[in-house]
Structure 1
Amino acid sequence: MITTMPVAPAPRPWYDLNWVEWSNIVGLVLTLVGLGFTWWQAKGAANAARAAKEAVGITELQLRTNQLMILVPQLRTLINELDVTSAEEGITHVQRCLDKWRSQASIINGLLLHVDVDKNILIEIQQSIGLAKTASESLHQGKEAPIKTKTRKARTSMTSACDSLDVWLGKNMTKALIGGSDK
């Protein structure tokens, strides 16, 4: 018995496909087009997210700067008020000024913790808060030293902190106005 090998059918031309084969080809093309479109959309969404994050950062800087534009002059006013009340020898008023300073400076310190700020400014603020507390406590003690003597270190530290805050505020006020960069 002679066995014959099966012969492979002759290849069909590409245009001689049935409808299932054509739908598979069309599906593959549509899938590739869809993947390309999806990639393009994802790239656009990533760029939009990056721009939104930058806009949020700029807005936060503007808000912090605006808050500090109100708070820092209040610190200057407290220093002036401290000078006036020290001259009048009003211990209660001096203590009130020192307490207000501590409160306002603590708020400013908290605002600056989350922005790009020279660490020396934060240290100056914290030192002024500590010296204001020490001065306030020394006023409670019955020592006979003049009020100005008891508050001198605190006042010097407060003035130094204000000066540093003024410089930071001036720099960042301009930065916030031009969109958050150092252009």
Structure 2
Amino acid sequence: MVVAVASQWFGLNWVDWLNVVAFPLGIIGLVLTWRQAKGAQDAAVAARSAMTRAQRQIRANQLMTLIPQLRWTTAELDLAIKSNDPDLAARQLEHWKWQVGYIRGVVIGIDANQTALLVKLQNSVTLASTATYSLVDTNREVHVVCLKARKAIGEACDALIPMLGEQSTQVNE
């Protein structure tokens, strides 16, 4: 029986020998392909994680740039209120609305669960819009027209500061 099996192997032609060798090589190729695919998957997960960290850092940097601009707008609004200048007040309220609209998007990108902060930001924009229209339509004192808006703006600024502090001191892994 052993002689018959050995003679079968020796009786194979070169094409048959290629088939015998190709089978284990195919298995080895499949294993290597699977390992490469697993490595590519791990690299894709690492790249996605790095992209998320980079986006978070960019948003934090945007907040560090934008929030001081809001503070400057607030100071200019205070100056307009103090000098009873409706044109300057309306301009600063418009600046506030545009800047806060952008900041809301950044805050949502960082943490959409910041509902209290987002409500304060939206409230300040709503009251700033109301005050702007009132400044144009009436001849009332600027401080009377802007009182509610200025209070809401102050609350929004106060709510943004802790988020800025958290974002600027957060360590990226």
Normalising by the residue count of structure 1, what TM-score does the alignment of the two structures yield? Answer: 0.84
Matches of residues 108-127 of structure 1 in structure 2 within 5 Å? 108-117=103-112, 118-127=114-123
Q: Which residue of 2 aligns with 1:166?
A: 161
Q: Does 1:23 align with 2:18?
A: yes
Number of paired residues? 168
Q: Over aligned residue pairs, what C-alpha RMSD do you find?
A: 1.8
What is the rounded CA distance, in whole Å, between the counterparts of 1:164 and 1:24 in structure 2? 73
What residue is the counterpart of 2:58 in the other structure? 63
Greater CA radius of gyration, 1 or 2? 1
For residues 11 and 89 of structure 2, the distance between their equivalents in structure 1, rounded to whole angstroms, comes to: 96
Give the Cα separation in 2 of the matches to 1:17 and 1:125. Answer: 86
Aligned equivalent of 1:140: 136
1:25 Cα offset (Å): 2.0
Identity of aligned residues (%): 36
Distance 1:100 1:155 in 2: 13
2:124 aligns with: 128
Q: CA deviation at 1:167?
A: 1.2
Gaps of 5+ in 2: none
User: TM-score, normalised on structure 2?
Assistant: 0.88
What one-letter code is carried by the residue in structure 1 that aligns with 2:10? Answer: D
- Taking the aligned partners of 1:159 and 1:36, their CA distance within structure 2 comes to 63
Q: Which amino acid aligns with 1:22?
A: W
* Distance in 1 of aligned mates of 2:19 and 2:74: 81
Contact 2:124 2:152 in 1 (8 A): yes
**Matches of 2:136 and 2:62, distance apart in 1:** 33
Selected match of 1:83 from 64, 69, 78:
78
Match of 1:44 among 33, 39, 47: 39
Q: CA deviation at 1:17?
A: 5.2
Corresponding residue for 1:3?
A: none
- Higher alpha-carbon deviation: 37-46 or 161-170: 161-170
2:20, 2:116 → 1: CA distance? 68
Change (3 A) 1:17 1:86: farther
CA change 1:27–1:150 in 2 (3 A) is same
Matches of 1:26 and 1:116 in 2, distance apart?
Answer: 58
